[in-house]
Structure 1
Amino acid sequence: MKKLILSMALIGATTLAFGQKKVVRSAEKNFKSGDLTAAMADIEAASADPETGSDPATYLLKAQIETKMFGSDSSNTASTVETGRTALATYNKALEMAGGNKEEGLGKDIYTEDMPGVPDNLRPYSIFTLKNISFDKALERYNAEDQEMAYEFFDLAGEIDLTDTTVHYNAGFIANELGKFEEAKKHFGYLLDVEEYNKLTVYYLLVQILSGEEKDPEAAYNIIMQGREDYPDDKVLAEYEIQLLLQLNKMDEAMASIQEALKNDPNNAGILLRSGYLKEQAGDMEGALADYKKSVEADPEFYDGNYYTGALLLDKSMKILNELSALPDDEWEAKSQSMGEEANVHYKEAVKYFEKALEIKPDNAEVMIILYQVHERLKNTEEVEKYNKMLIELKGPNWLDNI
């Protein structure tokens, strides 16, 4: 009797297991035919069963059903992304249950390459199918000018493949545009790990995020030094390095970098300007003025070069006049004419640089005011009136009261 009861129990267990396997087969059939609601109901039942629910193949099929549901949802909204992320989690669970090896067994099936454009019945519905569908949805959203959702789909595709440079550049670029700077840094960071990838633009963007948006010059400098190792001859990174050294008040290192950069690029207006700035800070006014003038010679349309040159010439004039005013009366009488004329020479020279600066930025009120005051000093009545009219148009009739 006991043997009979045992036999009946075994038959029952076998029948139950067979029944659950039948449910898995039904899920597969419905998956292939496109009845995804029925397929999902079947696979949910199978995954809840102790036997079929412990089989990683059950979860691979579930992930494939979820992937097809993801692809068939043309709304491409946040809920679509959620379906895709659920599918990814299921693929990962199946891989973990199968031992985690992507190269053989079920792991190989999960990571089968997917070729976009092949008929649906020939697609492997692997994790790479999920990635490619997500990429296509990202492009669709981007072309529809829905950058928020384009980013989400690119981000999902990137989570599947950390080495796909197109996916991560697009994700990082859009995240940066959206102000998602942590997300942008994440994707750009993946690009820096791809050895053969041309990373220059990525370094530029990371420096801009770190130094500009996040106000972290130390982190930006570290990224620049990493970039300089990869691209030692890049002139833009060399300029960024100097700029950040100045920002970090590392003057000696900045000057050394400037001298090295000028060996390779002696006519770089930006670097010449920074060289002049360092010399000015160190008290070498003549050296600073020479470098500022060289920056304008290298690029006549360089606003900062023209402005800094004019400003330093004005500074020279003011020092002469301050020195004159500090003299005793008898010395002042003897030197006032010669020292005044010397100051005026620098004022006159400054005019051409400020006029060029105003030509480059024609609505710059600050430069107009400087030219008004210099011409007033030089008693150039017509020029004084010209700049007065310009300032009235720009700032109103009472502009003088507000300076």
Structure 2
Amino acid sequence: MKKLILSMALIGATTLAFGQKKVVRSAEKNFKSGDLKEALTDIEAATADPETGSDPETYFIKAQIETKMFGSDSSNTKQNYEIGKAALSTFMKSFEMGGSDKSSGIGEDIWEEDITGVPDNLRPYSINTLKNTSFDKAIERYNEGDQEMAYYFFDLAGDIAPEDTTIHYNAGFLANDLEMYEEAKKHFNLLLNVDEYNKLNTYYFMVQILSGAESNPEGAYDMVMAAREDYPEDKILAEYEIQLLLQLNKMDEAMASIQEALKNDPNNAAILLRSGYLKEKSGDMEGALADYKKSVEADPEFYDGNFYTGALMLDRAREVLAELNSLSDEEWEKRSEAMGKEADGYYRDAIPYFTKALEIRPDNTDVMEVLFQVHTRLKNEAEADKYNKKLIELKGPNWMEGGM
């Protein structure tokens, strides 16, 4: 009797196991015929069974079903993206259960290459099919102007292919544009670890994120120095280095970097401007003015160069007038005419630079106010009236009350 009971138990277990395998075969059949909802119901029942649920093949079939569901939905919404994420998770579960070996067993099937454009029935519905489908969805969303979903689909594809530089550059670029800076750094850092990849633009993005959005000049400076090891001749990186040294108040190091940069690029307007700025900070006003003027000679359309040159000339004029006002009455009588002419000379010399600055940025009311003040000082009534009218038009009749 015991043997009979045992035999019947074994028959029952065999029948149950056979039944669950039949469910797996049903899931495969429904997957191939396109009845994906029924296929998913079948395979979920199989994953819940102790025997078929311990077989990595079961999860591989489930991942294939989810991948096909992901691709067949052209809505490309966040909900559709979540199906793709679920498929990736299922693929990875199957891969781990099968020993995490891409070169043999279930791992070989999971990572089978996918060639886009082949008939649907010839696609392997592997993890690479999921990657390619997600990439296509990202492009579709980007072309439709949906940057956020384009990012998420690129991100999903990138989780599968950490070595794919095109995917990660696109994802990082979009994340940065969306002000998703942590996500942008994730993708850009992956790019920085890819050998033989041209990382220059990636370094630019990382420096901008660290120095701007994250207000981390120390981190940005470290990134610039790493970038300069890879690209020692790059002029933009040289400018970043100087800018960050100034921000970190490392004046001596900044000046050394400026002098080195100017040896290689003597007509770089931005570096000449920074050289002038450092000289101005150190009290070398003549040297500063000379460098500011050189920056404009190097690039006449350089707004900052024109503005800084004009501003320093105004400062010199104000210094002359301040000195004049500090004199005794007797000294003032002796020197007022000469010193007044000297100050007016600086004001006149500043006009062309501010005029050019306004030409470059024609709606800049701050520059208009400066030109109004200077022309008023020099009794150029027609010019002063011209700027007054522009300011009334842009800021209203009481623009002077805003503080000059």
TM bin, normalised by shorter chain, reads: over 0.9
What's the CA shift for 1:276? Answer: 0.3
- Aligned partner of 1:164 in structure 2 is 164
Q: Displacement, 1:128? A: 0.6
- In 1: Cα distance, 2:41 partner to 2:372 partner: 82
**Structure-1 residue corresponding to 2:23:** 23
Cα drift, residue 37 of structure 1:
2.2
Structure 2 residue aligned with 1:356: 356
Paired position in structure 2 for 1:209: 209
Deviation at 1:258, TM superposition (A): 1.1
User: Structure 2 matches for 1:3-402, cutoff 5 A?
Assistant: 3-402=3-402
CA distance in 2, matches of 1:205, 1:382: 48
Aligned AA (2:192): L
Query: Separation in 2 of the partners of 1:200 and 1:17?
Result: 58
Where does the alignment leave 5 or more consecutive residues of structure 2 unmatched? none
**Which is further off, 158-167 or 331-340?**
331-340
Structure 1 gaps of 5+ residues are none
1: CA distance between counterparts of 2:362 and 2:15?
Answer: 88
Secondary structure at the aligned position of 1:241 is classed as: helix
How far the C-alpha of 1:21 sits from its partner, in A, is 2.0
Amino acid at match of 1:14: T
**In 2: Cα distance, 1:57 partner to 1:338 partner:** 96
CA distance in 2, matches of 1:359, 1:140: 42
Output the CA distance in 2 between the equivalents of 1:374 and 1:75.
62
State, as a whole percentage, how many aligned pairs show the same letter. 73
How big is each residue's C-alpha offset from its partner over 1:280-310, in whole Å with a ceiling of 9 and x where there is no partner? 0011111101100000000111111111111
Distance between the aligned counterparts of 1:20 and 1:397, measured in 2? 85
Q: Measure how far apart 1:385 and its partner are.
A: 2.8
Aligned residues: 403
Q: TM-score with structure 2 length normalisation?
A: 0.95
Separation in structure 1 between the aligned mates of residue 374 and residue 76 of structure 2, nearest angstrom: 63
Structure-2 change in CA distance of 1:382 and 1:4 (3 Å): closer
- 1:350 Cα offset (Å): 1.3
RMSD, aligned α-carbons: 1.7
**In 2: Cα distance, 1:120 partner to 1:291 partner:** 66
Query: Tell me, what secondary structure is at the counterpart of 2:27?
Result: helix
Dislocated runs of 4+, deviation >3 Å: none
The CA distance in 2 between the partners of 1:381 and 1:76, in whole Å, is 64
- Tell me how far 1:337 sits from its aligned partner: 2.3
Given the superposition, is the C-alpha separation of residues 52 and 392 from structure 1 closer, same or farther in structure 2, using an over 3 Å criterion?
closer
Normalising by structure 1, we get a TM-score of 0.95
Distance in 2 (alpha carbons) for counterparts of 1:24 and 1:192: 43
Question: Which region of structure 1 is more displaced relative to structure 2, 53-62 or 201-210?
Answer: 201-210
- CA distance, structure 2, for counterparts of residue 219 and residue 80 of structure 1: 37
Once the two structures are TM-superposed, the CA of residue 324 in structure 1 deviates from its matched residue by 2.1
Equivalents in 1 of 2:361, 2:71: separation in Å?
A: 53
**Cα distance in 1, alignment partners of residues 392 and 30 from structure 2:** 79
